[in-house]
Chains A and B, each alone.
Chain A
Amino acid sequence: MIVGFLNLTWPVFADALALGGIYALMAIGIGLVFGVLRLVNFAYGQLIMAGGFALAFGSQWGLPSWLSILFCFGVVLVLSLLMEQLVFRPLRTQSPVVMLVATFAVAFLLQSIALLEWPLGKVAGQLAVWQMPWDIGGHPIRKVAVIAIAAAAACLVLLQLLLTRTPLGLHMRAASMDFRTARLLGVRANRVITGAVLISGVFAAIAAVLLSVQDIQITYTFGLQDTIVVLAGVVVGGMNRPIPATLGGFTIGFATGLLGGILPSNQSQYLTSFIFAAVIVVLLLRPNGLYTRAGGTAERV
């Protein structure tokens, strides 16, 4: 018990941390693509939905869980590449509004295909066992929470290494600072963008696995609400740099999980309002992001 009277218990705290971790992964996925393409990928939620359906089909076909997870990664990565080739690439020179609305259109298309073909999927089998609690220091903590926290931490460390220690990471950072100059200095646009889209796809697949274990019912709106919340988190944190964006995603996930866990149900139904009211307040006070240094370039959307 940290604060007993708010019924904040260790399991609630762990679940909140896990949600923060998952949202942080999604925030990186959205932030990386925004960095190199200046494109807010709204269809990110539909990548996660596709991953969720892949897992559901995997368990329906009786695949072992490692194979289902592999299948989920495959589906999400192929879909990410297709999106990049068919939609993002031709629109690369367009204004951010057109690109954003184009990702809406992609999201709408994927959602309506899912609605038509697969009304409901269910993740079962070995993956559902992750729902069971482990006993940690006398507190029943769900396995998926522990796995999510560990996976998020590992991914963040790996990404940081990739960004700071490899040529691709260097190119990506250069491209997100100033794409034109980076190209003049020999950064290959297509390679960097494909790289960012692929890494973003990997994070979407990981998020899909973790989210679909938490909520085993997969519908055509799976991942949609999460993506909206993460998008808000990314902008609140600071869209232009990976670390503020990630922190923003983590903060909003953690806050959502924590408030959802400790508020009584007659108040937690207004949780969305609390969170988004906070988003508005932060944006008014720090329009460039909560975790960025003051002063940035003015932009028009």
Chain B
Amino acid sequence: MPLLDKLRAIVGPTHVLTGVERSPYVLEGRTPEAAVLPGSVEEVAAVVVQAAEAGVPIVPWGGGSAVGVGVPPARAGLVLVLTRLAAVVEHEPGDLTATAQAGITLGALQGALRSRGQWLSLDPPDGARATLGGVLAANASGPRRHLYGTARDVLIGVTVVTADGAIVRGGGKVVKNVAGYDLPKLFIGSYGTLGVIVEATVKLRPIPDDERLVAVRFERFDEAAAALRALLTSDLIPNAVELLDTASGGGLGLPLAPATLVVGFDGLGEQVDWQVAELANVVVPCGGGKPVGLPSSTWEPLAAAPRDAFAAPAAIMTLSVLPAAVVDTMEQGAATAREHGLASAWCAHAGVGHVTATLRVEEHRADPAPVAAVLERWRAAARAGGGHASITWAPLPVKEALPVWDDAGAAGRLMQRIKAQLDPNNLLNPGRFVGGI
């Protein structure tokens, strides 16, 4: 029996998409042989077994919000869509944990948790579309990671379907657990190259009584740098510390300023009040303006900045640097872009050294060369400071002009060995990840 018929037998004919129905699942011009939508963990495993037997590669797909990250596979094979696995399996508020299937959107999960006074402390962009499994596989994060960390700080258990179709559980349901190897850490940020995440158990937090976001404007970047240093060594406990340049701030509708520090606080009402007042004492002497309150609707676009700063981005790069290097990275990076005649927009989770930059497409310039040249120089700057930089979105010609991922060095060889052990036939998202994994 041909593969597609076998798949129809597993998931039902309406859940195997061929023909034009595949169009939402086209990967940078590469059309998959089919998109398959299994309805249970067991069906995922059965699909993987059949694909493995036929030697057809698999691209796991959640909300599709991160499919532009990395190198598109040479052969799209089967897109394995997980959105039918969307159940909250278990939520025990007293344990501050929840287990959900991978295909639930982050927004739907947060909604279910919120109704019982809790939340999952991950706030990446596109929460309405991004799925829990996709957020974990991409290690996506947002502004509140300043206080609450990333997936590695919340994921305590994971169920994956491995390349040979086995259903494997790592970690568990309890918040503290050192039995066996920490498989959840392995699958975080692995972009579907080691297994298909089908279920996850996460630590939760109580929803704070109050939360507020304020903006502080600066006329000069070095003043913002001084304020940032003062803030991070003060007694304040912000939940978000974002630094935006003019273009990113403008994209959020903030008053135009050379640099804007956006700071979030949560906790009891009296704690938030005190911190907002104290923030002025910290930043104003450094040259900052008076903190101005922002509506809570700012959180969502803030998480996506500076992606949406320009109507047509030419490329987006994420740079991981030391927190103390954030301001220089932004200021010098923008200057580099200008030297090549390009406009850029910058935003950083400044307290943790996570910087994102977007280049603008200039009219009449289809040439990827200057874009690639700027990205190369940004990467070199990040590396010079002990960090690294990877392209998170770019059109294919740019991705072909320079490596999408930074060089993982000696650790990269270890990553290759792990990939070879877990996916010896290279069927899971082949070629997408670091070092051609």
Q: Do these two chains interact?
A: no
